[in-house]
């Protein structure tokens, strides 16, 4: 199995190490060379310094023909954009983007992006440990719409699901909504081990999102 991972942080490097050790072909990208220090000396895969949202960088790194694509940086927008490139430019069949904010994770899943939400996973684990009934969102939210209907990034940024849904409510056809320029400029450079301004509930301002009707979904606030 060929697996491409974007983000060589704690999660990405651990997955890369274990997949490599079990005989899978692993290609891992990160914008920081120092991030690859997390990989063991026994790692036999390819560690490539480059932007995982850039189709040409992924192509030169060997992403074509991958079975799985995991975007695991700390930037929600960055992960979604990388996931879209993997789906639309390379046709990778299994693509997952890590989204820290539960609201955005559910909204992007509605737009066709399979999302992994660390916040939901942690809340659910703590609730289970405390034996408390809590309504949490899924750890991995599988999209109900085809991957090719992902929102398209533009020079203004990636369209973000908002409450201003058109009358038809068509997934992937929402008006563009961009973050302040200061946030956009920092999101591009954050790897898995660095918390960016859009890293989720703990990081910065929340982005308005579609009020999803998925069963069991609830936005937790401190």
What's residue 70's pLDDT? Answer: 97
In a domain, 192, yes or no: no
In a domain, 36, yes or no: yes
Choose the weakest-confidence range: 37-51, 112-126, 140-154: 140-154
**Model confidence over 40-72: pLDDT tens digits?**
999 999 999 999 999 999 999 999 999 999 999
CB 102 within 8 A of CB 183: no
- For 101-166, list the strands marked E by DSSP: 115-116, 140-141
With DSSP H G I counted as helix, E B as strand and the rest as coil, what are the percentages for the chain, rounded to 5?
30, 15, 55
What band does 121 get if pLDDT is binned at 50, 70 and 90? confident
In a domain, 54, yes or no: yes
In a domain, 152, yes or no: yes
In a domain, 91, yes or no: yes
Q: What is the mean pLDDT of the chain?
A: 74
**Model confidence over 153-197: pLDDT tens digits?**
433 444 443 333 333 333 333 333 334 343 344 444 444 444 443
Q: What is the pTM of this model?
A: 0.66
| Euclidean distance between CA atoms 220 and 123, whole angstroms | 9
In a domain, 136, yes or no: yes
What's residue 142's pLDDT? Answer: 82
User: Domain containing 59 — which CATH number?
Assistant: 3.40.50.720
In a domain, 199, yes or no: no
Q: Which domain holds residue 154?
A: 2-187
The total domain count for the chain is: 1
């Amino acid at each position: 199995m060929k697996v491409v991972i974007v983000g060589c942080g704690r999660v990405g490097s651990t997955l890369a190490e274990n997949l490599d050790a079990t005989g899978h072909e692993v290609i891992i990208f990160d914008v920081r060379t120092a991030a690859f220090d997390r990989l063991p000396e026994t790692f036999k895969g390819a560690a490539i310094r480059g932007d995982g949202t850039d189709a040409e960088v992924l192509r030169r790194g060997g992403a074509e023909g991958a079975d799985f694509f995991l975007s695991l940086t700390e930037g929600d927008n960055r992960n979604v954009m990388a996931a879209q490139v993997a789906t639309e430019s390379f046709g990778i069949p299994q693509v997952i983007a890590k989204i820290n904010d539960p609201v955005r994770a559910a909204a992007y899943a509605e737009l066709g992006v399979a999302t992994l939400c660390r916040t939901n996973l942690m809340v659910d684990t703590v609730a289970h440990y405390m034996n408390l009934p809590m309504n949490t969102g899924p750890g991995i939210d599988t999209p109900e719409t085809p991957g090719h209907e992902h929102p398209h990034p533009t020079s203004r940024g990636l369209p973000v699901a908002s409450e201003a849904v058109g009358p038809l409510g068509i997934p992937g056809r929402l008006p563009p909504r961009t973050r302040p320029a200061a946030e956009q400029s920092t999101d591009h450079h954050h790897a898995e081990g660095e918390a960016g301004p859009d890293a989720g509930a703990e990081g910065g301002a929340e982005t308005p999102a579609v009020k999803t009707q998925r069963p069991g979904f609830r936005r937790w606030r401190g």
